Amino acid sequence: MKVLIVGGGGREHAIAYKVSKSSQVEKIYCAPGNAGIAELAECVPIGAMEFEKLADFAEEKGIDLTVVGMDDPLIGGIVDVFRARGLRVFGPDKKAAILEGSKAFSKDLMKKYHIPTAEYEVFTDAEKALKYLETAKMPIVLKASGPALGKGVLICQNLEEAKAGVKEIMLDKQFGDSGDEMVVEQFLTGREVSVLTFVDGKHIKLMSSAQDHKRAKDGDQGLNTGGMGNFSPTPFYTREVDEFCKKYVYQATVDAMEQEGRPFKGVIFFGLILTEDGPKVLEYNARFGDPEAQVVLPRLENDIIDVFNACIDGTLDQIDLKFSDDACVTVILASDGYPEKYEKGFPISGLEKFRGKEDYFVFHSGTKFGENGEVLTNGGRVLAVTARGKNLKEARAKAYEATEWIGFDNKYMRHDIGKAIDEAGEDVNV
């Protein structure tokens, strides 16, 4: 079969890697792809938001399955365009992708169906938001309701910061239209963990837990990013947490979406916070996380095509989802200055050192080919250096060892990815 993957980041590289392992697949295309994906797939210069062009391409090439990795096309309705033309596609349609597309929608859904989350208010009027904040308990969290590349969340310590946050999101439109509506949320304390799941509209199957590192700098300092590193599984996702979420969060979310006439087929990423009052949902994403995909997918033992098909056909209950009981750690190599200003276009050396090494992977996030075929940096997040080990500590040591193999000007990374592993005592693999 022929598969088209839509997107061009590290997540899509991890998806392409898994798809390439399927005996059912003879040809992979990726639009637009990147220099790393080009080793596994034929990259096509069509943008992820060019839905009609992508559908034309899928028809022309006789694509059997399209897999959409990115949030923007899903929220924008790419699945609806493909389905209307009789093309098979993995991912939620527009009315289901609103689960990620509108934080206000997802908060209202959780409230209506009693899914545990932080207390909140939604505002479309900056004046009303400012008035509300005058008597609100600090610290407080402000979120642009629409998608903002994982950066539209501000934690405000006091009223002054909160007022500045309203200005940034709603008045200065720092996140564009995504800030037309804003969620003001109670600040929760606890460890954050991510859980990736496959969903077929009715049934839900858990992949694995993972733990992200959102801030740009060591010690969780600096600005929010799309993620600077990750590990899976996380020892903080204990059996008790798992049982609670299975009872009150996972199936409850799938059922709620079905009740609302928005059946969800695809991947739901649950962003959880483990508070003293139990787990609560911080956010939903309607696709694989990045870099969560890079630590979770290498551990998936099933043929991913079977899983994609089961989600589309509503037969996920017949799939026995299997993950290896080892661990995976990803460290992002970024361009210095990310997520603000940074230079790109520098040659990258050392990529060949990953070839033929079973437990080491280098997933490309922001790369492109130069005029002479050399690989150049082409984004804030450049590469996701990933390693597997029998436990988290071994995987972390291997991942950091592998970051040394890569060289490029203005290479930047965090040196404390997985620090929490040391605080957890023995590894707990759930």
Q: In degrees rounded to 5, what are phi and psi of residue 210?
A: -155, 165
Structure-block tokens of residue 317: 């209950």
Q: Round to whole Å and give the CA distance between 173 and 427.
A: 43
State the residue for tokens 């934690």: 155
Q: In degrees rounded to 5, what are phi and psi of residue 104?
A: -65, -45
Write out the CATH class of domain 191-318. alpha beta
CA nearest 150: which of 283, 280, 281, 264? 283
What is the DSSP secondary structure assignment for residue 39, as one 8-state letter?
A: G
Domains 119-186 and 191-318 share a fold: no
State the residue for tokens 């028809």: 59
Q: What is the dihedral of CA 15, 330, 289, 70, to 10 degrees?
A: -50
All structural domains of the chain with their residue ranges: 2-99, 119-186, 191-318, 327-417
Q: Round to whole Å and give the CA distance between 107 and 99.
A: 9
Reported as a pLDDT band with limits 50, 70 and 90, residue 424 is confident
Residue range 308-332: mean pLDDT, rounded:
98
Query: Using an 8 Å Cβ cutoff, are 192 and 117 in contact?
Result: no
Write out pLDDT tens, residues 168-201.
Answer: 999 999 999 999 999 999 999 999 999 999 999 9
Q: Round to whole Å and give the CA distance between 348 and 366.
A: 11
What fold, for 119-186? Answer: Dna Ligase; domain 1 (3.30.1490)
Query: 327-417: which CATH number, 1.10.3720.10, 1.20.1440.130, 3.90.600.10, 3.30.1180.20?
Result: 3.90.600.10
Reported as a pLDDT band with limits 50, 70 and 90, residue 294 is very high
Write out pLDDT tens, residues 68-121.
Answer: 999 999 999 999 999 999 999 999 999 999 999 999 999 999 999 999 999 999
Res 347 pLDDT > 60: yes
Q: Is 3.40.50.20 the CATH number for 2-99? A: yes
Residue range 200-222: mean pLDDT, rounded:
96
Q: Round to whole Å and give the CA distance between 206 and 265.
A: 14
Buried b (16+ CB within 10 A) or exposed e, 395-421: bbebbbebbebbebeebbbbeebbebb
Query: Using an 8 Å Cβ cutoff, are 31 and 44 in contact?
Result: yes
What is the DSSP secondary structure assignment for residue 76, as one 8-state letter?
A: H
Q: Round to whole Å and give the CA distance between 349 and 336.
A: 17
| pLDDT score at 423 | 83
Q: In degrees rounded to 5, what are phi and psi of residue 257?
A: -65, -40
The C-alpha angle 365, 371, 376, rounded to 5 degrees, equals 25
* Type of residue found at 17: Y
pTM of the model: 0.96
Least confident of 48-52, 126-130, 223-227: 223-227
Reported as a pLDDT band with limits 50, 70 and 90, residue 59 is very high
Residue range 309-321: mean pLDDT, rounded:
99
Between 254 and 420, residue with greater pLDDT: 254
Give the residues across from 284 on adjacent strands.
270
CA nearest 225: which of 176, 285, 290, 162? 290
Structure-block tokens of residue 144: 């642009």
What average pLDDT is seen over the chain? 96
CA nearest 321: which of 338, 340, 300, 298? 300
Res 427 pLDDT > 60: no
